[in-house]
Amino acid sequence: MIDQLTVFLENSEGRLAKLCRALADADINMKALTIADTTEYGVVRIICDDAERARDYLDQKGYRAMVTKVTAIEVPNRPGGLADLLGVLDDLDIPVEYGYCFSTAGDRAVDILKIRIASEASKAVFKLEESGFRVLTQKDL
Amino acid sequence: MSRQADVLTMPREKIEQVQLEGLRKTAVHCYEDIPFYHKSFDEAGFDPYSIKSLDDVRRAPFVTKQDLRDNYPYGLVGVDRKDVREVHMSSGTTGVATVAAYTEHDLKAWSECFERAFEFAGAGPEDVCQICYGYGLFTGGLGAHYGSLQSGATVIPISAGNTERQIRVLREMGSTVLECTPSYAMHIADTALAMGVDPAKEFHLKVGIHGAEAFSDNFRRELERKLNYKVLDIYGLTQTGGPGLAVECLEQNGLHIAEDHFLCEVIDPATGEVLPDGEWGELVVTTLDRQASPVVRYRTRDITRILPGECACGCTHRRIDRLQGRTDDMLIIRGVNVFPSQIENVMKTFDEVSSWYQIELTTKNYLDVATLKVEANPDFDIDSTGAIEELQRRIQAALKTALSVGIRVRLVEPMSIQRSEGKAKRIVDLRGENLK
């Protein structure tokens, strides 16, 4: 499991820019960012170095931020990489709340999955590793 | 009830007789001794000498806060300045201050009215009361002080502020009666808990007499749980002589008006028509016994209703319901009257959100659209959009049940609701601005 920084933002002009500026000021480097948005608000999910420090900094700046545990899995950077991964979870009947991928240079990509129930998440990790996937820890990033 | 039992259990006919005498006396006093009333009664064609029944008060014109301000400072004082023993003033935060003057007689009447809170609570000489209303021009401090002295209790006039000292005194001096605003009582309780003091165990409180602010039933329960005592509401306003106009008894079902001192009516704020008992409207007060600052039909802007029926406590004076806010705060959303306090009551049942909220009113296709903005508490799981949507839906449903009008609920970022001096700006009405 790795740390993800989640920030609740109003869906209005300039909010995301402001958030990113705040993170830059705190010297936080982002590896991935995704937004679940509605017309009224957005939930911004970020993979970065030191999510805890980022959360504390944002708290202090008046943001609603939290650190969430998510599962990060390395998959081959080729067609069907993610399909294979999700297939394993589907066979186990483990629901995935949300997910996103980021491709780094090279032949590997990283998929981030949120599995709501902790016991299900550890079951998933076990099964994925058994199926040959590499589940990443914080220091792998 | 003991010290004033005769007055508090007077038969209705007797109360009404006292009221009629008081009304006649006050109307004539105002007419003869205060030029403002002489003029306004004449203009309205109201003859103060023609009063035959209590209903005749309805022929008298209303007096508003603006009238009081216009006559600042001594314009509405009905006695010689040398007979005025004390003067209080409203804070004047929204304009010029209004003045309440007291003769010796008025101060005594005020003490007795406030003392009824002690009668109802069963408190008296054996009690120690800690008064943490602010002393000074605010009627709350000295009103509580005089009322408490009148009860025979031991008085600790600690005034407001220095919460840690309040807590020390509450523990060490054995205070059994706490007198302050409800929000300050909550602040004391929370501060004690943060200091590692459990007020329910380490304080000695029996009763809290909390006025000067409207508070919800949920707020009362929370106070009672934290401080392990009974909370009684007390009502009054500077313009009618301060707290003690109406006081709650242990039934906690409405506040008994001091009917031997005040004549209360409830009117429709829009038309000025007097409403039947049980209907909500604006409270209008006529003093029956005041010498220095009498008022006839003062419009309080406070929303309440006369509670029909007798109270189980045995007091024969009629009751008003807990205050539901002020006419200035009342919102009309799609024709439905909504008071911020109703919304607050709903919000308090949701642990997931803070007590900061804001209602934004806009117009869409000629219809009012009300949006309630709320802030999630820090431990709410904002990572789950499902949880956010579900919370919004649940609050929306609870509001619909409580208010009979649909209000959209929107979770917003912390601190995005405007605050001024610790108070949230509760209502943003943009309906006039986007009609086009």
Give tens-digit pLDDT for B178-206.
999 888 898 899 899 989 999 999 999 99
- Residue B421, pLDDT score: 45
Mean pLDDT confidence for A80-101? 90
Mean pLDDT confidence for B149-165? 95
A-chain residues near B386 (CB < 8 A):
97
Percentage of chain B exceeding pLDDT 90:
70
A vs B: CB pairs below 8 A = 45
Q: Is residue B436 part of a domain?
A: no
CATH number at residue B52: 3.40.50.12780
Provide the CATH number for the domain formed by A2-68 in this structure. 3.30.2130.10
CATH number at residue B367: 3.30.300.30
| Nearest-angstrom CA–CA distance, B390 and B241 | 49
**DSSP characters for B280-297?**
-EEEEEEESS-SSS--SS
Q: Is residue B286 part of a domain?
A: yes
User: By the 8 A CB rule, do B291 and B79 touch?
Assistant: yes
- Residue B115, pLDDT score: 97
Q: Is the Cβ pair B413, A40 closer than 8 Å? A: no
Q: Residue A93 above 50 pLDDT?
A: yes
| Candidate from B378, B382, B412 with C-beta closest to A6 | B382
Q: Are residues B201 and B102 in the same domain?
A: yes
Q: Residue B91 above 90 pLDDT?
A: no
Q: Is the dihedral of CA B401, B406, B407, B411 positive or negative?
A: positive
Total domains, chain B: 2
Mean pLDDT confidence for B294-308? 95
Which structural domain range is residue B252 located in?
A: 1-327
| Nearest-angstrom CA–CA distance, B173 and B176 | 9
Domain boundary among B327, B349, B365: B327
**DSSP characters for B213-253?**
S---HHHHHHHHHHHTSEEEEEEEEGGGTEEEEEEE-TT-S
Q: Regarding predicted confidence, which is higher, A39 or B305?
A: B305
Q: Is the Cβ pair B378, A64 closer than 8 Å? A: yes
- Residue A77, pLDDT score: 85
Domain boundary among B298, B327, B356: B327
The helix or strand, by DSSP H or E, that contains position B211, with its residue range, turns out to be strand B207-211
Q: Are residues B300 and B375 in the same domain?
A: no
Mean pLDDT of chain B: 91
Please tell me whether the interface predicted TM-score (ipTM) of this complex is above 0.90. no
Q: Is residue B434 part of a domain?
A: no
**Highest-pLDDT range among A67-81, B202-216, B305-319:** B305-319
Is the backbone peptide bond immediately before B182 cis, with ω within 30 degrees of 0?
Answer: no
Give tens-digit pLDDT for A44-66.
999 999 999 999 999 989 899 99
Instruction: Tell me which chain A residue has its CA closest to the CA of residue B411.
Output: A41
Q: Are residues B345 and B375 in the same domain?
A: yes
Query: Which regions of chain A carry the CATH code 3.30.2130.10?
Result: 2-68
Which residues are within 8 A (CB) of B57 and not within 5 positions of it... i.e. 6 or more apart? Answer: B23, B27, B51, B263, B265, B286, B296, B297
Mean pLDDT confidence for B104-125? 97
Q: Please state which of the four CATH numbers 3.40.50.620, 3.90.45.10, 3.30.420.40, 3.30.70.260 is assigned to the domain occupying A70-135.
A: 3.30.70.260
Q: Regarding predicted confidence, which is higher, B336 or B46?
A: B46
Buried-state track B376-390, b at ≥16 Cβ within 10 A, e below 16? beeebebbbbeebee
